[in-house]
Amino acid sequence: MKKNRTDNFDKFSLKKKGSAVKENIRQDKKKAKAESRAMGEAARQRKIDKARGIVTDPPREKYAKGPYAKKTTGYEKKPSTRKSFQDAQPKYGELTPSHTARPATTRPTSASKRTPASMDKADEKRTASIGKVNAAADTPYEQMPLNKYIAHAGISGRREAAAMVKSGHVTINGDTILEPGYKVQYKDVVRLKGKVLQLQVTPVYILLNKPKDYICTANDPEGRKTVLDIIKNATTQRMFPVGRLDRNTTGVLILTNDGDLAQKLTHPSYEIKKIYEVTLDKPVTKADLEAIAKGVDLEDGFIAADAVSYLSNTSKNVIGIEIHSGRNRIVRRIFEHLGYDVRHLDRVMFANLTKKNVDRGKWRFLAEKEVRLLKFMNKSFTRKSAKES
């Protein structure tokens, strides 16, 4: 009796609860959907290969067996014959790299049939060509679903894009595509009703703590080091510096591919604040400090600092100066006009961004909040100026 009571208790304690049963049903349904999706992908691949002249005969006897010979609900327990589909699947799944490289293939005659050896050889050629395509450093993506591509081109949302594709309005390299999930490759030409679509450039914003001996340009005929050399591994987008610094000036520098923001940060009407730490060859007199605050006349016009002061009570040759002018070498020319030689110039702030936690020669991406602040910086000032004018 004792043994029977123990056995009954074990049956009760080990019995699966309602939540466990539901979870098993969910997992079975998830697996069934994944397998159905894989079958659809294989069928789509065979259709594409057939259009390109690549003849492949699927092992039909395998597809006639197992749970895939009839429609399943996802709740049935999968029999052991499920492995037969997995064995057949790689023969078609392995052909998917042809989407990426799309190498030229020889169309076999209708009488010829591909053998496993010939299929493996074709796959090796495709893999080799894929490596050449992916080796290009300027490819922003390898493949993208067609409806996502249309959405990223700024035409519509993904659902509306899927409807456009199914309506037959979209072509890729001249072929009408009806599958919203079709994988678009980097070099494909996508047209919507005859109009070529282009992906919108993803904006990138980088803050660099510029070191000496680097110039702020994309290319230098003399072969000197540029700031783009420092961030070459940051992005594949074409970047350019904003608020340029000369070769011997260090400090905060912004690099971006956002032309609108770059124009805003450099346009005089926005009066973007810049703060520099200037080390001079000799102590600056109080009279010269006052003259800089009141303004001096340079060869290209009058200029006055927004603020200027000593940075130390003991050393009078280290000065902090705030200025919003974007004229070329303006800080150096102010001090040179008064008879000082600038030994070191470091920009410690630009558009309220500092080099805090960014070592010399290092960089970081701007946070989303920082980008928003840059885009709306001094907006009230520019509106006020427009009303006054």
Residue 302 has pLDDT above 80, yes or no: yes
Indicate yes or no: pTM above 0.75.
no
The confidence band for 314, taking pLDDT boundaries of 50, 70 and 90, is confident
Q: Look at 259 and 165; give whichever has higher pLDDT.
A: 165
Q: pLDDT digit string (tens) for 197-213?
A: 877 778 899 999 999 99
> Structure tokens of 71?
């429609």
Average pLDDT over the chain, rounded to whole? 76
pLDDT score at 44: 80
Of residues 296 and 266, which shows the higher confidence score?
296
User: Is the pLDDT reported for residue 246 higher than 70?
Assistant: yes
> Whole-angstrom Cα distance, residue 96 to residue 189?
19
Residue 178 · residue 219 · CB < 8 Å: no
Question: Each residue of 210-225: pLDDT tens digit?
Answer: 999 999 887 778 888 9
Q: Taking residues 185-190, what's their average pLDDT?
A: 87
Catalytic machinery residues: 246
Structure tokens, 13: 């304690």
Percent of the chain predicted with pLDDT > 70: 69
Tell me: the pLDDT tens digits for 96-112? 443 444 444 444 444 44
Give me the pLDDT at residue 64, please: 46
Angle at the Cα of 52 from the Cα atoms of 47 and 54, rounded to 5 degrees: 80
Distances (CA, A) of 340 to 25, 234, 280, 317: 81, 39, 7, 10
- Nearest to residue 350, comparing CAs of 259, 269, 257, 250? 250
Average pLDDT over residues 11-31: 70
Mean pLDDT of the 163-191 span:
91
Q: How confident is the model at residue 238 (pLDDT cuts 50, 70, 90)?
A: confident
Separation of alpha carbons 360 and 344, rounded Å: 14
pLDDT in tens, 22-51: 778 888 888 888 888 888 888 888 877 777
Rounded to an integer, the average pLDDT of 368-384 is 71
Instruction: Write a three-state SS string for the chain.
Output: CHHHHHHHHHHHHHCCCHHHHHHHHHHHHHHHHHHHHHHHHHHHHHHHHHHCCCCCCCCHHHHCCHHHHCCCCCCCCCCCCHHHHHHHHHHHHCCCCHHHHCCCCCCCCCCCCCCHHHHHHHHHHHHHHHHHHHCCCCCCCCEEEHHHHHHHCCCCCHHHHHHHHHCCCEEECCEECCCCCCEEECCCCEEECCEECCCCCCCCEEEEEECCCCECCCCCCCCCCEHHHHCCCCCCCCCEEECCCCCCEEEEEEEECCHHHHHHHHCHHHCCCEEEEEEECCCCCHHHHHHHHHCEEECCEEECCCEEEECCCCCCCEEEEEECCCCCCHHHHHHHHCCCCEEEEEEEEECCEECCCCCCCCEEECCHHHHHHHHCCCHHHHHHHHHHC
Measured in degrees and rounded to the nearest 5, phi and psi for residue 302 equal -75, 145
State the pLDDT confidence band at 226, using cuts at 50, 70 and 90: very high
Strands 363-365 and 301-303: unpaired
pLDDT digits (tens, 9 = 90+) for 124-142: 554 444 334 333 334 455 6
